[in-house]
A = this chain, B = another copy of it.
Amino acid sequence: MSEQVLVTLDREVRDADAPLLYADDLAVVRGDGVFETLLVRGGRALKLEPHLARLQTSARALGLPNPNPVEWREAVKIAEQEWGDEREGAMRLVLSRGRESGGAETAFVTVAPVSERILQARRTGVSVLMLARGFSVDLSASAPWQLLGAKTLSYATNMAALRYAATLGADDVIFVSSEGNVLEGPRSTVLIAREKTLLTPPPDHGILPGTTQQALYEVASDRGFRCEYAALRPADLIAADGVWLISSVTTVARVRKIDGLVLPAAPLGDEIVELVDLAIETAGTEFTEV
């Protein structure tokens, strides 16, 4: 029996170990589609509504037909049931433009086990390398074709950056703009603390708005944190009272090393983990049509 669950948007449960996509699917040959990853915990896909809203934003950036949240909710529900509530899962929503030779979009939901890499990142934190992203923070406003705020299936450079970091012994990457501003991780949002202030780079700097970071900000504001968006430089990370990579499946990974420099233990570490856990369980039940 497969370790994976696969449900197509037409609510069919499929064998994940049978081929699904044609050789000319534009997801395959062009990376031309969008996706979301969600954490399944207790049999439930967390923060589903913000993820569906972001799927719509991404689809719009690529000129794809607007994803119907009703259909996606139903497919997700079936995938949740198939996966069960005994262990966490990593869910993916995938929407591609469909076959080059024509026809409908390709749309499906998968759930797979949470990888050992992710469990390790939660437990021990990560060492990161700062790498040039090549872009200016101003690019996204003037160049919508760069799709900087969209979560596309074209992740080859993200994966290459992670492989590059691995060859130098690092677990993850933080991208820096051509001006030297901190941007994001290839699969995470960068968060820092300065005493009781949380800071993250502004989404209009050409980065993906983080659903987990946004959920955290909602909850942390009620717990006496100031939550801000601000341009950050690498030195701000070194001098911070804690640096974290925040994302949907990993949730929180403390950054314990940047470019080989060991960061002191974050005094707020346990509180951030607790707040994120609370945030992802409670936040984001409202869907905002985009």
Contacts and interface: CB of A to CB of B under 8 A. Distances in A.
Interface of A: 3-4, 6, 14, 16-33, 35, 61-63, 92, 94, 96, 100-101, 108, 110, 112, 131-132, 134-136, 139, 142-147, 152-161, 163-164, 178
Contacts of A132: 139, 142-143, 146
A163 B157 CA distance: 22
Contact of A30 (B18, B144, B156, B161): B156
B22 A16 contact: yes
Contacts of A22: 16-21
Contact of A16 (B6, B23, B32, B131): B23
Given A16-B23, A23-B108, A145-B161, 13 more contacts: A4-B101, A19-B19, A25-B28, A30-B158, A31-B31, A31-B154, A63-B163, A131-B143, A134-B146, A135-B135, A146-B160, A153-B156, A154-B157
11 contacts: A4-B24, A14-B23, A16-B23, A16-B24, A17-B22, A19-B19, A19-B20, A21-B21, A31-B154, A134-B135, A144-B160
Contacts of A27: 27-29
A155 B63 CA distance: 15
A25 to B, nearest CB: 7
Given A31-B31, A134-B143, A110 B157 contact: no
A39 B6 CA distance: 37
B24 A21 contact: no
A101 B23 contact: no
Contacts of A108: 23
